[in-house]
Each structure stands twice: as structure tokens, then as C-alpha cells.
A and B are shown apart, each in its own frame.
Chain A
Amino acid sequence: MRFFDPHIHVTSRTTDDLENMAAAGVRAVIEPAFWLGQPRTRVGSFVDYFNSLIGWERFRASQFGISHFCAIGLNSKEANNEGLAKEVLELVPRFALKEGVVAIGEIGFDEITQAEEFAYSEQVSFAKDHDMVVMVHSPHRDKKRGIIRSLDIAKEIGLPMAHLVIDHNTEETVKETLDAGAWAAFTIYPHTKMGSERMVDLIEQYGPERMIVDSSADWGVSDPLSVPKTAKRMVERGLDARTVELTTWQNALDAYAQSGQIDVEALLQKPAIDQTQLFADNSVLRGQAPRVDAPVPN
């Protein structure tokens, strides 16, 4: 089976993870720009971070046969540093129109402040003007109100709802999101977000249309195999193949390919791992297989 994980922070993951993801069938990922666990203090940190998303991380994933796309944006937490936020918002157009940048994201609300609303509105307007998709991070606290506010603002600005993906939905928010006409994404992330079992319950209840499963795996205790693991659970519980395909591959592809920045034809071809790139001594694959049951090969 093939899987599209449309939300994962690969920057924080090791090559072991990438190997395991490839082996489990993950063929494409989207890495949205987010905060790094602690706030940045200089705009240059954002320049280098955005550059790594469109450069090194894309290449790193490609060595494992994984197509790496990304979303560019100023996240909600750091939107609250208003001086820095202004500088970062000026930077967004330098990165958002690049090849493989499939959305503005992840943007939205954290504490639902005025500063967050300003950054969100500015970026949604940019997305609308440039015919782009928006990936919305919904808050941990006061989630429902945050989602409703995100939907309302996007509507006011005139972003087509088909260009809006609301992420980190729960049982309590999925109906609002779907009724608004947006895509509903779910993060399968242990302890704080959604588990596989609940996810399958939701798909049974709401059907597979506009429903997207992702991992949001990052620097926390999270699982880069969340999408294939949830697909496995769907199969075990008797959901049909089309449902599994839609929620773990096709919906994400349909939503984000609207950006015009996914070479769908190339993606659908068998993943090609370039052996000359694998061989490079200076690349990330330094010849070792990450196993403890064998000595380090030469």
C-alpha cells in the first residue's frame, strides 16, 4: 500500500524513521513550517528554517524514495512576537511560491490573540491572492472556538473552502469543519491528540470524503508511522479499500495538488531511489545500516 502523510515535521526525525516510513509504504509527505519547541528570536532563523524545508529536507527524504513537499507560514505561537512576526510575514512571499510548496501553513490560532488573528488573516489573504491552499493548525485549548474563528475569517476573506484544510480535528469539531466545506484532517498522535481506534470510529461515522489522516510527528513523543498503522487498523476493522485509500492517500493528494505544485505524474511513478545519491559519502546515508546486531560495515 502507498501512503501520503500530509503533516509531519521530518526535520525532527532521524534517518531510521525515514527508512521505516519508506518500508511501511509512505511515499509522500508534507512538512508544514511550525515552531521548533522554543521561540526564535531573529528573522534569520526563519530564513534558514524555510530554506531547509525547501532544500536539505526535501533532498534527505528523496534519498529514501519519499517525495517531500512543504507548507510555508508563520505559526500561531510565534505570531505573538509582533515585531518579529512582521518581519517573518514579509519573508513568506519569498518562499511560499516555490516548487513543492503546496500550502500556506501551518497557521491559525494558539491562544486566540489579536496578534495571532492578524498573522492568520494576512497569510490567508496571500493564499487567496496566489491561488494557494491553507493548512490550519487548530489550538489545543479552546479548540472549537479556534476552528470556528479560522473558518469564519477564511470565509470573510473569500478563500474557497476547498482550499482550506483544518488539522487536529476531534470528535467535537469534525462536524463544523465538514459542514463548512473544508477538508478535515486528523492527527494520530499519542496521548494529546487522536488515536487510531478513535480515528476509525470517526471514519465509520462520517465516511471518507474530505477526511485526511496524518501523523504530525515532530520532536515530541510521536509516531512517524501513524498513517500506515491507522490504515492497518481500518483494514482490520473491515473498512473497504477505497475508504483506506481516500483517507490515507487520495484526499491529501487532491487537497494539496490544487496548489499546482505537485507533479502528480512523477509521484505516481514507482519511487526511484537514486543509487548514485545513496552512495555519496557526504550525503546522509553514510553506508551504515542502523542495526545493533551487526558490526558497522565498511
Chain B
Amino acid sequence: MSAFLLLKRMLETRLPRPSVQWFRDACTEITDGVDDVRFAGLVAMASRHARDSTPLAPSADELKRANETLEGWNPERWGLLEALRAALVLTRSDLDDDRGVLAVESLFAFADEGEQRALYRVLPLVPSPERFAARAGEGCRTNIPPVFEAVVLDSPFAVRHFDDGAWNQAVIKAVFLGVPLWRLFGLDTRLGPELARMALDLVDERRSAHRDVQPELWLCLGEHGGARGTEALLKELDASNSNTMGRCAAAYALARAGEGERLVECMENEADSVVRAAMQEALDGNVASTVFRKLRPEEGA
């Protein structure tokens, strides 16, 4: 099933009836051909038919279908209005040629925050998404965390289409902004020495400033941290560190670095039951990036 059809079905079961009719009429109008101003007007006025505060709330089956449509596409946290706008964009039949690209770029040029979120979310779903890599890079320069999340999280866009520089910047900026890095699809497939170095530099900066290290920063090391990484992790794991979530993260990260034996040694003297549980889980091999979800209680892990 195409992304458009899946979104259309989700919308038709959720929107009030008059709004479903508006959506169908808008699709017809767009398919028949509209100028850029009218197209932008329809995308804007979608807010009269779906509220930004209403979640899309996809079912488990719908989430499964989304991932089948495009691996890494996860609309779990989409809003209803974002879905409506995404569907309006995907309605265009000219997205695979320059005309469609220009129309989408024109939307970006005048987009408010909600529209920006919707547009960035739809980028991985358009044909040849790599044409929008520079645009997505621009999105990463935002200071508005929800917009940044829309570019980077729950989507395969970054892992597939960002060059190494943009990718590393996006990963570190996610930690910097405090957005949940574990939701960056494909993180574990694109770790490397440069990213590990950037992460360890940030660790040093945080410690010099007497600030806790963000637990998810340790995700960036993988097996590329070297001796410097192992040393930093052992320091984080030390019993004198009162940041329990950071200690748990270091346990996972030590296992991710292939330092299982060190972890076993640490565990022998570990008194904190929460940290012990994380160590055991790490030793059991449950160390994919998504395990870091547990370090964010607010995520309802």
C-alpha cells in the first residue's frame, strides 16, 4: 500500500464527516492542477479541519503497515493535522518532476511551525527524497525542538540521505536539544570514529562544566570510542556518580563497545539494583539503541 493510501485511510476513519469531504475535494482540486498559492492555501487551511492538538494515534496494525511501506517510517507520534497536510502533499502527481519540487519548496518558504513539521515528516515519503537533503539540512538548523524532531526522528530520511557531516551534526544536536536520540532510525547502522570523537569531546565539555552527561550521548560511541571511550565510560559507571540514568547508559554503552568483561567486573561490586539490572540486560545482549528508551521514564517505557 502506498503511503498516500495508508494516510488517506487513517484520515477518513478519524476526521469528522464534513472534513472528510473537504479533504476529498481538496485532493480532487490538487490532482486537477492548482497554482502554488492555492496549493499553499489548501495546506494552510487544513488547520480548519484538524487540530494540531489531536494525535493521529495509529493502531498497531497501521504502524505495521507504515513500516512495510517504508522501513523506518513510524507515524506513532504524528498529529492528525500533520497527517492531513502530508496527504495533501502526496496527492500531487508531479512530485517526481521539477514542478512538484518547486511547489514543495514554495510551501517550505512560507511554512509556519506546524506546516514545517508536516512537510519534514512527509519528505521520506515523496519520490526520490534525496532531492530534499539540503532542505532537511536546513530543517536541522532550527532552534524549535519539535521541528528538529520532525526532520530527524521516527523517519529513515537522515540515515538514508544525510552525508556524514550532516548526519553527525544531527546526532549530536539531538543530544544537545534533549530530544530522544533512541528514536533516530538507523542510528546503530551509522556509528563511526568521527561521531564517537565528537561525543567524547562533548563528554569532556560537560564534565569540565560540572554538568551531568546526557545518558543518550553514550549511544554515539558504539564500538568506535577506543581506549578514551572505555575510560570515559568507566568513569561514568563509577559508584561516585549520582546520575543513575547515566550509569545505566554507560553499562549499555560498555557492552555496545564490546567490553563485556569490564562490565562483569563492575557488576561484581555494584550495589545499586537499578544499575545492576541495566548491567545484566547489557550482558544479555539487549543493547540496541532503542533500549535507551528505558532511560527516559517520561516516554512511558
A residues whose Cβ falls under 8 Å from a Cβ of B: 47, 51, 54-56, 58-59, 93-95, 97-100, 260-261, 263, 265-266, 276-277, 279-284, 298
Contact of B177 among A59, A95, A282 (CB under 8 A): A282
Residues of B within 8 A of A98 (CB): 44, 47, 112, 115
Contact of A54 among B48, B51, B112, B209 (CB under 8 A): B112
Residues of A within 8 A of B112 (CB): 51, 54-55, 58, 98-100
> Which one of B41, B51, B112, B113 has the greatest number of beta carbons of chain A within 10 Å?
B112
Residues of A within 8 A of B144 (CB): 55-56, 59, 283
Q: In whole Å, how far is B103's beta carbon from the nearest beta carbon of chain A?
A: 13
Tell me whether A279 and B178 are in contact (CB under 8 A): yes
Tell me whether A281 and B177 are in contact in the complex, defined as CB-CB below 8 angstroms, given that A55-B144, A56-B144, A94-B37 are known contacts. yes
> Closest 6 interchain pairs by CB?
A99-B47, A54-B112, A266-B53, A97-B44, A94-B110, A59-B144
Query: Within 8 Å of chain A (Cβ to Cβ): is B45?
Result: yes
Tell me whether A93 and B37 are in contact (CB under 8 A): yes
- Bound-state CA distance A279–B179 (Å) is 10
Tell me whether A58 and B44 are in contact in the complex, defined as CB-CB below 8 angstroms, given that A94-B37, A99-B52 are known contacts. no
Tell me whether B210 and A277 are in contact (CB under 8 A): no
Residues of A within 8 A of B143 (CB): 56, 280, 282-284
B interface residues, tally (CB under 8 Å): 31
Query: Within 8 Å of chain A (Cβ to Cβ): is B192?
Result: no
B residues 177-219 near A (Cβ < 8 Å) are 177-179, 209-211
Tell me whether B47 and A280 are in contact (CB under 8 A): no
Q: Which residue of B lies closest to A263 (CB)?
A: B51
Tell me whether B48 and A298 are in contact (CB under 8 A): no
Q: In whole Å, how far is B142's beta carbon from the nearest beta carbon of chain A?
A: 9
Contact of A95 among B110, B116, B146, B210 (CB under 8 A): B110
Tell me whether A261 and B48 are in contact (CB under 8 A): yes
Consensus secondary structure, chain B interface: helix
Residues of A within 8 A of B145 (CB): 276-277, 280, 283
- Bound-state CA distance A169–B179 (Å) is 47
- Bound-state CA distance A141–B109 (Å) is 38
- Bound-state CA distance A46–B135 (Å) is 22
Q: In whole Å, how far is B54's beta carbon from the nearest beta carbon of chain A?
A: 9
Tell me whether B48 and A55 are in contact (CB under 8 A): no
Q: In whole Å, how far is B212's beta carbon from the nearest beta carbon of chain A?
A: 11
B residues 159-174 near A (Cβ < 8 Å) are 173
Q: In whole Å, how far is B15's beta carbon from the nearest beta carbon of chain A?
A: 15
Residues of B within 8 A of A58 (CB): 112-113
Contact of B40 among A54, A94, A261, A281 (CB under 8 A): A94
Q: In whole Å, how far is A221's beta carbon from the nearest beta carbon of chain B?
A: 30
Q: In whole Å, how far is A253's beta carbon from the nearest beta carbon of chain B?
A: 16
Tell me whether B209 and A266 are in contact (CB under 8 A): no
Tell me whether B110 and A298 are in contact (CB under 8 A): no
CB pairs A–B below 8 angstroms (11 shown): A54-B112, A54-B113, A55-B111, A56-B143, A99-B47, A263-B53, A265-B51, A276-B145, A276-B178, A280-B176, A280-B177
Tell me whether B113 and A298 are in contact (CB under 8 A): no
Tell me whether A51 and B47 are in contact (CB under 8 A): no
Q: Which residue of A lies closest to B85 (CB)?
A: A99
- Bound-state CA distance A188–B37 (Å) is 38
Contact of A298 among B37, B109, B211 (CB under 8 A): B211
Q: Which residue of A lies closest to B177 (CB)?
A: A280
Contact of A261 among B47, B81, B209, B210 (CB under 8 A): B47
Query: Within 8 Å of chain A (Cβ to Cβ): is B114?
Result: yes
Residues of B within 8 A of A56 (CB): 143-144
Residues of B within 8 A of A97 (CB): 41, 44-45
